[in-house]
Amino acid sequence: MPYPFGHYRLLITDYDGTLRPHHGLVSPENCQVLRDMGKAGLIRAVATGRSLVSFLKDWRPEIELDYLIYSSGMALCRWTRRGPGEHIYTRAFPPEEQKKALETVLALKKGFLAFLAPPDSHCFYYQDAPDGLRSPGFQARLIQFQSVARPWQPVRGLDLEPLSQFLIMVRTHDLFELKEKFQSLNPQLSVTHSTSPYEDDCVWLEVFPAGVSKSTGSQALVDLLGLGSENTVALGNDFNDKTLLDWAGLSYIVPEAPPELLAKFLTLKGPGPILQKVFNALKSAGGN
């Protein structure tokens, strides 16, 4: 009996703004499609910038998954009906790479967050911009995660503590200048950006260890499964999904995505749950 989706075996979807709307929950309709995909033999994974703890706060058992790639590719774990299972891998900055990245972050003189290594990547240190001005998003994030946020104190030797990510909130008009400056000083690091969910005039400049991205996390998953990128369909909504969308054999973007991404990737238009549109497209790809 032929496989119902042609050579596609794996779905990897972004979470916030894609599977889950920015203001709301994963819909019952999308939950049902996830179940239908699983019954049809499709392997289901989420690739998210969230930490494991942050994802768990929003997850519920009806959101059926097989794998979770979290902290933008810093970790990969199996997923069960009860939640996280075995970790396949976790990553952190090597000491010298981390030291150089930290020096560059401090030199930018912007407010930043420094996250611990997975599975504790929900915990972070923070430092205000030297002028003391906080963007609404920076302030909101500190309030939302105050139980796991600690002020930056260099005298404590934080530069020696394993970290997984730096997040720098910058004004939209400063983004490309600061991104290019950071990348020129640290060409080996993974540097990306994403839209702030706090609807302020800021963009998140995200810095990860060399080679870390949603696409490398996805590659680790297909290696584990004995598959390839050509067997993968990806779904995303923002700039931090671009490496994943470029990597996958078939990629879709939601209609609310930035214009630069809408111009490059297939857009899922029309009424109905976003996953149902993907499911229908896969059935067509399989000749059904």
Residue 147: closest CA among 18, 257, 57: 57
Crossing angle for the helix pair 274-285 and 28-39, nearest 10 degrees? Answer: 30
What confidence category does residue 160 fall into, taking pLDDT thresholds of 50, 70 and 90? low
Tell me: do 87 and 128 sit in the same domain: no
User: pLDDT by residue (tens digit) across 48-63?
Assistant: 999 999 999 999 999 9
- The residues near 21 (Cβ < 8 Å, ≥ 6 apart) are none
Nearest by Cα to 169 from 197, 143, 205: 205
Q: What are 90-135's pLDDT values in tens digits?
A: 999 999 899 889 889 888 888 899 999 999 999 999 988 776 667 7
Domain assignment of residue 64, yes or no:
yes
75 and 114: one domain? Answer: no
Look at 189 and 6; give whichever has higher pLDDT.
Answer: 189
* pTM of the full structure: 0.88
Identify whether residues 203 and 265 lie together within a single domain: no
Q: Residue 197 is part of which domain span?
A: 95-208
Alpha helices in 59-149 (DSSP H): 95-108, 136-144
Lowest pLDDT segment from 143-157, 178-192, 260-274: 143-157
- Mean pLDDT calculated for residue range 167-174: 84
What is the domain count for the chain?
2
Looking at residue 51, which CATH number applies to its domain?
3.40.50.1000
pLDDT, tens only, 9-26: 999 999 999 999 888 899
251, 233 in Cβ contact below 8 A? yes
Kindly report the length of the chain. Answer: 288
Domain boundary among 175, 208, 241: 208
How many helices (DSSP H) and strands (DSSP E) are in the chain? 9, 14
> Is the predicted pLDDT of residue 30 greater than 80, yes or no?
yes
Q: Is 264 exposed, middle or buried (0-12, 13-18, 19+ CB in 10 A)?
A: middle
Distance (Å, rounded) from C-alpha 240 to C-alpha 8? 23
Res 288: pLDDT:
47
**pLDDT higher for 47 or 21?**
47
- CA 69 – CA 140 distance, rounded (Å): 25
Q: Which of 182, 208, 234 is the last residue in one of the domains?
A: 208
- Examine the domain organization and report whether 112 and 250 are in the same domain: no
CATH of the domain at 142: 3.30.1240.10
What average pLDDT does the segment 208-214 reach? 93
Both 121 and 151 in one domain: the answer is yes
The C-alpha atoms of residue 126 and residue 281 are separated, in whole angstroms, by 43
CA distance 125 to 193: 20
The pLDDT tens digits of the residues spanning 219-247 come to 999 999 999 999 999 999 999 999 999 99
Does residue 218 share a domain with residue 200? no
Same-domain check for residues 167 and 187: yes
Residues 40, 119 within the same domain: no
pLDDT score of 156: 58
pLDDT of residue 53: 95
Of 162, 188, 208, the domain-final residue: 208
Q: For residue 119, is the peptide bond before it cis, meaning its omega torsion is within 30 degrees of 0? A: yes
d(C-alpha 77, C-alpha 88), whole Å: 5
158, pLDDT greater than 70 = no
Same domain, 202 and 233: no
Q: Examine the pLDDT at 249 and tell me if it is beyond 90.
A: yes
**What pLDDT shows up at residue 1?**
41
